[in-house]
Structure 1
Amino acid sequence: MKSLLVLLMLIIAGTGVAFSQTQGAMNKEAAQSYKEADKKLNDVYQQILKDYAANKTFINNLKEAQRLWIQLRDAQVKAMFPAATKSYGSMFPVCKANYLSELTQQRTETLLVWLNGLPQGETCTGSIGAKE
């Protein structure tokens, strides 16, 4: 019985060590997730620019919308974390990167409709699919 208890304690202790991360590692992981989300957004945006290149009016409006979205994203981050960076503690880099990832993924989903289209029967398509 004593051996079983010792074995169980070793397993639990080993599991805890296997899942622990340093703050630096968490920061790096969150930053990498944001970098990947940003890359996906840029890939989608570039593909739209390519696919809709003949529709100059749309392209100009999309570029303006993207520029304004970046300003909105940055303003949202400032609204979420208005105090000095150090006041949020050591988790701030993770929290900020996670929030940036979330906002970026939302924007990517918004832009994807120009590549993937809308559901069958949707009548309010606007510029979606108007590649010329």
Structure 2
Amino acid sequence: MVITRISLLITLLFSLNVYSEETTSCLETAMSQRDMNQCVGIDYKKAEFEMHRVIKEIRRLYKGEVKFLTNLEKSQQNWETQLELDLDLKYPKADEPMYYGSVFPMCYSGYKTRLTLQRIAFLKEWLKGSTEGEVCSGSVMHEYYLKNGKG
């Protein structure tokens, strides 16, 4: 009985936190700074892929909403510019490879990943949908229409 509960809890925690478990696993097994740099670089690629997946899904769900999709494109372009500016602000001497030491690739990619994950969380609002009574939802469709199609 106790083992069953523990197994269920472990399964639940793993399923809720797969992304961070993969990140932790890679970093825990890294044997050198180079390995850690690579782990964090892989994490960024996963976050970037997820962001593109979310945007693609938003485009699919909101097809026909021309003004919204135009604004989504502008917003994403501006975010990408802001991302570069934020990275430049955090690491103004990024073009001097040894200025921040051997941990720099890990730190830079980690910061970029963190900002990308924040963007993903923001964009997922359009995938989640609004609920009854949310009067300021703007362009976010009601969750009913997202699940059952517009109409």
Superposed, which structure 2 residues align to 1:1-132 within 5 Å? 21-83=31-93, 84-118=96-130, 120-129=132-141
Aligned equivalents of 2:51 and 2:77: distance in 1? 13
SS of equivalent residue, structure 1 residue 42: helix
Determine which structure has greater relative contact order: mean sequence separation of CA pairs < 8 Å that are 6+ residues apart, divided by chain length: 1
Q: After TM superposition, where is structure 1 displaced by more than 3 Å over at least 4 residues in a row? A: none
Provide the rounded CA distance (Å) in 1 between the counterparts of 2:73 and 2:98. Answer: 35
1:85 Cα offset (Å): 3.3
Unaligned runs of 5+ in 2: 1-27, 143-149
Return the offset for 1:118. 3.5
Write the distance in 2 (CA, Å) between the matches of 1:36 and 1:19. Answer: 18
Q: What is the TM-score of this pair, normalised by structure 2? A: 0.71
Larger Rg: 1
Distance 1:92 1:118 in 2: 40
For residue 120 of structure 1, report the CA deviation from its aligned partner.
4.6
Once the 2 structures are TM-superposed, how far is the Cα of residue 20 of structure 1 from its aligned partner?
6.0
- 1:85 partner letter: P
Q: What RMSD, in angstroms, separates the aligned Cα atoms of the two structures?
A: 1.9
Q: Which digits, 9 at most, give the CA deviation of each residue in 1:17-75, with x for residues without a partner?
A: x8662111101100000100111111000100111111000000100000000000011
Q: Secondary structure at the match of 1:87?
A: coil
| Corresponding residue number in structure 1 for 2:15 | none
Rounded to whole Å, the distance in 1 between the matches of 2:49 and 2:97 is: 25
- Count the aligned residue pairs: 115
Q: Which amino acid aligns with 1:118?
A: S
Aligned partner of residue 99 in structure 2, secondary structure: helix
Query: Given that residues 30 and 36 in structure 2 are in contact (C-alpha distance below 8 angstroms), is that contact kept between their aligned partners in structure 1?
Result: no
Q: Residues 72 and 93 of structure 1: is their aligned pair in 2 closer, same or farther, counting only changes over 3 Å?
A: same
Counterpart AA for 2:123: L
